[in-house]
Every structure is written in C-alpha cells, then in structure tokens.
Structure 1
Amino acid sequence: MKIKREVKLAITALLAVIILIWGINFLKGSSLFESRNVFYGLYDRVDGLKVSSGVVYRGYQVGQVLSISFTGERFDKVLVEFSVKKGLELARNTSAYIQSADLMGSKIINLIPGNAQQLAVNGDTLRTQLEQGLMEQVSNQMLPLKQKAEHLFSSLDSVLSIVQGLFNEDTKQNLANSFRSIDRTLHHLEGASGNLDTLIEGEAGRISQILEHINSITANLEQNNGEISRTLSNFAAISDSIRQANLKQTLLVLQNALSEVDSILIKMNEGRGTLGAFVNNDEFYYNLNQVSENLNRLLVEFRYNPKKFINLSLIDFSSGKKDNMGYGIVIYESENRLSPDAEIYKQNPNLKEVRYKGKYLYIWNTYKKLKSAQRQLDNVMKRYNNAYIVKIDFI
C-alpha cells in the first residue's frame, strides 16, 4: 500500500510545526512536557519587564513570565502572570520582586522566600516589590548633596548680607575718620620726635656730666672690690657657722630620738613588755578582744535590764526573822493598783500583790533559795522582759 504524496506533505508539515513550537519554547527556557504552577503579581508598573522574562529563585531560573496585562477600574494596575516549576514549594508570603538582571536594564522576577508555614498553591497572587529605577537611585544619592548645596548657598547669602552691611555709608565714613586719626597720630609722633631731638641737643652737657658721675661710681666700686668681697665672705662665713651649729644640734636630737625608737621596736619584736606581748602574742590579743566583747555585752544587758542585776529587798532585817526570808520573781510593777479583772491576773491566777515604797509589785512565784529563783527567771523573762528577783518575807 502506497502513501499518497499529500499525506506525506501533511505529516511533514505537522512535524515541522511541532518542532518549531518545541524550539521556540526551548529557546524561551520552557519545556512542553514539564508541569508548572502559575502565580500572579499585581504591580503599579513593571519598568520594562517583558513576556518570557526569567523568574529566578535564589539565583536559579525556575520559570518565566507568561503574560502582562492591565487591570483595575482605570487600568492603573499591571497584572503579571508567571510560571514556576511544580516541584518548588513557596511560602504564602513569598514576594515577587522585579529587579534588574544586568547593566543593560533587562528585568527579571526574583522570588524572595517568606517564613509562613502555609505554602502557596497554583493560581495564588503573591506579594510584589519593585526595584527603584536608576533615576530614583540617583535622586536619592543626590538629595543629600542638594540639601548641603542649598545650606551652603544660604550661608553665603548671609555672609554677603553681613559684608554689604559692613560697607554701608556709615562704615565707609567711620573708616575714613579712622585713617584721618591715624594720620594725625603719625604727625604728632613726628613732632614729638623733633622735640626729643631738640631736648637732647639742649641737655647734652648735663647728660655728659651724669655719665661721668656714673663712670666715677663704677671706678670706685672697682677699686674697693677687694674689701667688698671680704665683707661678703665674712657674712657667708657667719651664716655657714650658724647653719652648721643648728644643723649639728638638730641631727644630734634626731639621732637620739631614732635610737629610742629603735630600742622600743627591738623590745617589741622580742616580745618584751605589754606592747611586745600585744604585738607578738596572738592569744593575748584574742583574750583581750574577748574580754572587751563580754564587757560590752554586759553593759548593754545592764542598760536594758538593770533590774536583773539589782535585787530589791522587801524584808525588814531589824526584825530578825531570817527563817521566813524567800525570793520572788516580779513580772509587773505599778504606782496604781491593778483591777482584779486585769489581763495579767487572767494569765497568772496565782499572782501575788505586794506594796513596797509606794508601788505595787506583782510576784509571779516565790522560792526559798535564790538559785531556784534565778533558774526560773530565764523562763519567765521569755514572756516578761522586765522581770526581776526580790527578797520577800513569807509572813
């Protein structure tokens, strides 16, 4: 079976079209057999971005621009459709950044990855950014220079205004008057110089006489130079003698004092005397320090609890009843008698009341022996800080 010529031509044409389409896409960097995701970006302008411009991710081309169209009610926005390889996962907040690809001004879309957890899906509209144009960059760099130039011109204008104000008519007149004053001053100096010359000429003989007197005085000083030298030498000798005499005496006193100090230091180092024991014997120092601390605590205790150390006696020793003598612990005293309903009676039902020297003493308990009372006093003072011991008569 033979294939007709027309069929061959049709098959050849179809293959040519397929190859042409594949070649065009190959030159564009896309493949007919590779699946891709399509995304969109909305821009105010695209600054020369073209269809088939590259889409890069971290410097590697992953797609291309598919279409560019105007949108919006007044066509004030540009919608860019671009493709990305399907295997590339992009975060939802990835930005499509239009930037220059080379010095010739070619534009590409650079995908700046975001940090969102959700991924962008096919058909999403990504965030957009636009690189500043060359004119904007130059303008931003030139703006500080422009501001400095304006400030400089403003300063120059102020300087010129000040200079112009200095050289007004009043200033010019003042300068002219100053120059005339200087001229008059120079004229006066010239006249004074002439007068001085005249004075010197008139008094030349007298000046010569004064100079002769000065020469005579100089000659007399030269003739008596030896006597003057001897007089000065005598004064120097007297001064040296006085200075040496005082110095010797001072050094002698100082030497004696140093000897005494040296002797004391030797004794201290050898441990002799109180100072030596204090310096060299650590035990002596610690004992002395301990005594000082104990004395200090005793004085503090005596200051706040004097009744602990001073016992009041409620016994009339003249009666001779020593067998009935005992000791009581006073927990409260008052000039006025307490009511039976007082709180201290409620806390201590066995409390005893004794009147002594115009005061009422309230005794917590009584003891035959002082040591027993003293042992119990520490426990009572935990409740009553001002408690103290007194001697009492049980009768």
Structure 2
Amino acid sequence: MEAGNEEYKVGIFVSLGLLVLAAMIFLLGGDKILFHNYYFLKAKFQNVDGLVKGSVVSLSGINVGTIEEINFSEDNRNLEVILRVDMLYKDRITTGSQAKISTKGALGDKFIFISPGSPGQEVLENGATIVTIERGDFLDTLADQSTGVKDLFAIIQEMYQLLKNINGDDRSLRLMNSLNISAENLAKLTASLEKTSNEIQKGMTHDQNFKRTITSLTNILEKVDQGRGTVGALINDPALYYRLQELVGAPTKNGYVKSMMRKTIEKGSMLTEKN
C-alpha cells in the first residue's frame, strides 16, 4: 500500500508540473489560450497566397488571433479561411470591417489584416463571414508598403501617359522633324557667326597695318621737321637754301651759270649745222 501511495503522489506531482510548464509556455508564447475566450469568423479568398494554418490575425496591427483552418468552399471557387479571434476585440469587428492577406517581415510572412469598422455598425457574431479584399499583383503589393513607393508608381504612371500622348497622332515624328530642322538652323547660325568673326578679325588686321603705316609716316615727318637726316637737313638748313639761290637766283649773282648755259647752247647749234 505504501509503495502504491508513493507512486500515486509522484504521478500527481508530475501532472501538476506538466500543467504549470504548459501554462508558462502559453503565457510566454503570447497565445494565452487557457485564459481567453475565442470566437470564429469566416473569410473567403480566391487565392490565399501562402497563408497557412496558425498564421496571425491582426486587427489594425494588434495580434488578435490565428488561422484555425483553410478549406475549399462548397462552390469550389473560393478558399474558406476560418479565423479564431479573441473575444476581447469582438466589438471592434463589425459589418464594415474588411480582411485582406498582407505580408510582414523580411521573409514575407503572410497574415490576415482586419481593418476595424465604423462605430455604431453591427458586430459580427460567431460564424459570420467578414468582407474580404483580394490581393493584387506584385506591383500592387509593393505599392501598399510605403508612401514613397506609391509616389514612385504615380510618377511612372504619369510618364506613361506623357509618352502615350507624345506618340499619339504621329506627334513623335513631327517632334523629331522639328528637332532636325532646329539642329540644321543652329548649324547654319554657327557657321554664319564663325564667318562674321573671321571677317572681323581680318578687318582688325588691316586696321592695325594702316595704323602702323600712319605711325611710321608720322615718325618720319617728325624727324624731317626736327632736321634729322638728309631730307631734314635740306629742308631745315638756311645755308643750303642760300647756296641754291646763288646758283639759280637773282641776275646779279647768277651770271656764271647763265654764261655756261649760253656756251653749251651755242656748241649744240654748231654741231647740228655740221651734221
């Protein structure tokens, strides 16, 4: 009997220890299933996109439950997802709430995101079907991640519309023709400007030569006026002037020159008569 009592006590102790351990695991894991009541909602999707049993159910970013089951619906056209939701948040999930499949984390874990309904709307009871929003393609999913990405896609859309408008009604061809004509006109204008520049440079060269000639002539005249050089001496020396005047000047001083000229003329006449 004593041995049986000991085994009985050990069994009770081990059972209590296991219960305490299980409770601690649930508490640390955040599920708290032993201390909370849950109710179930249905959500129908055409594609669950990797959603699995046990995935998180989130209400405005707060974990409020998990995925209980994923089955084909009776019409076999949709997948029926059973949501297990904490009763504490029942009043916030109404007929105006919407559920969609979202992604979180670097690994892309899938979960159900529920948006709360408006105040005063009817609360969804146990077993009710919540309105769902189907996921779009990859670009739509990426656009939902941040405002910056949405802006980027908006810019891409505007660029697409712009290119579409440009290509419509042969506008791109007309634009290219206009650009070609503008380029030709620009080339002609550049050539004309270059020619004008060369002519201006040549004119400046001729003008510089003319200026140098005037400068040299001015220097020569200044030297002559100052009596420098042979010409300057002839012009500015009074003695030379008087000597020339004595040779071809007044009758009283040029008798010698006249007699020499008369004799030369007479000799020329005699030679002419003999011939």
The TM tier, using the shorter chain, reads 0.3 to 0.5
When the two structures are superposed, what TM-score results if normalisation uses the length of structure 2?
Answer: 0.46
Structure having greater relative contact order (Cα 8 Å, sep ≥ 6): 2
Instruction: Give TM-score scaled by structure 1 length.
Output: 0.34
Q: Write 1 or 2 for the structure with the bigger share of helix.
A: 2
